[in-house]
Amino acid sequence: MFSDLLIKRLKKAKTVAVLTGAGISAESGVPTFRGEQGLWKKFRPEQLANFNAFIENPKLVWEWYNFRKNLIRQVKPNPGHYALVKIENLFTDFCLITQNVDNLHRLAGSRRIYELHGNIMRNRCVDCNKQFDEILFDDENLPRCDCGGLIRPDVVWYGESLPDDVLTKSFAAADKSDVFFSIGTSAVVQPAASLPVEAKRAGAYVVEINFEPTVITNYVDESIIGKSGKILPELMKRILND
């Protein structure tokens, strides 16, 4: 399943960077974005995850986020998340870059996490940017800040900039990585999708783990087709036993 070259590169590696996407949480029961299961009430994520949609219909967008928040509160990290915690402990310089907003890497125990698209459990005011943790509201009364502004989930929507510091650190990590993993992401959403490309350009051995081929499969050094919850624990064992 794993090439000898991958194991050799990992044995020698000092710096390892991992990019994860919705696929790593799929085995915990969190739906991915693209494909049939990404649909919620027949809306595509692009129709909901953008600022204009929120301003036009905040109730609808909040309904989607509340639905997802409730689901996420009920799920647990899976063997893929836990294997990444163990892999983190094997390398001097490791970072986990995630596009996910579901907090499952933190719950599993990963330490150096760069959240590119925010966190669904945080909120902020659209006008003054004040941060709010847990907010309680019913469907009729949308949450508002003391300044009167609407409160929104603190996530990154289409057309919005990613957090500057997180993005800079993520590209720096891709640049210096000896081995770079792209796991459970369709690799179509920019700028996250440029990270494996940047890592390869800078000389890393780039490995993709995905349930099916993606747009970067032919570009990476090694593509492993399968579920991350199965592949990652096996990879961890192989690194330890080899």
CA distance 75 to 97: 21
- Three-state SS for 100? coil
The single residue among 9, 16, 19, 21 that binds ligand BJW, judged by CB under 6 A, is 21
Residue with the CB atom nearest ligand BJW in the bound state: 23
Q: What is the DSSP letter of 209?
A: E
Residues 96-135 that bind ligand BJW (CB under 6 A): 99, 101, 117
Is the Cβ of residue 104 or residue 145 nearer to Zn ion in the bound state? 145
Q: What tokens were used for 173? A: 């990590």
Tell me the HSE value of 127 on the side-chain side, using a 13 A CA sphere: 8
| 86 contact, one of Zn ion, ligand BJW, none, CB 5-8 Å limit per kind | none
The single residue among 2, 132, 158, 171 that binds ligand BJW, judged by CB under 6 A, is 158
CA distance 11 to 3: 13
Amino acid at 118: G
Kindly indicate which of the ranges 52-60, 85-93, 196-204, 207-215 contains the residues binding ligand BJW, using the contact rule CB under 6 A: 207-215
On whether the CB atoms of residues 213 and 229 are closer than 8 A, the answer is: no
170's enclosing H/E stretch is helix 164-176
Residues 59-88 that bind ligand BJW (CB under 6 A): none
- For position 52 contacting ligand BJW by CB under 6 A, the verdict is no
- Residue count, binding to ligand BJW (CB under 6 A): 35
**Is 117 annotated in the active site?**
yes
Sign of CA dihedral 67, 28, 26, 135: positive
Binding mask 220-239 for ligand BJW (x = CB under 6 A): -------xxx----------
Residues 169-188 that bind ligand BJW (CB under 6 A): 184-186, 188
CA distance 111 to 130: 26
- Give the active site residues: 117
- Site residues (CB under 6 A) for ligand BJW? 21-23, 26-27, 32-34, 38, 45, 49, 99, 101, 117, 155-161, 184-186, 188-191, 210-212, 214, 227-229
Binding residues for Zn ion, rule: CB under 5 A, are 125, 127-128, 130, 145, 147, 149
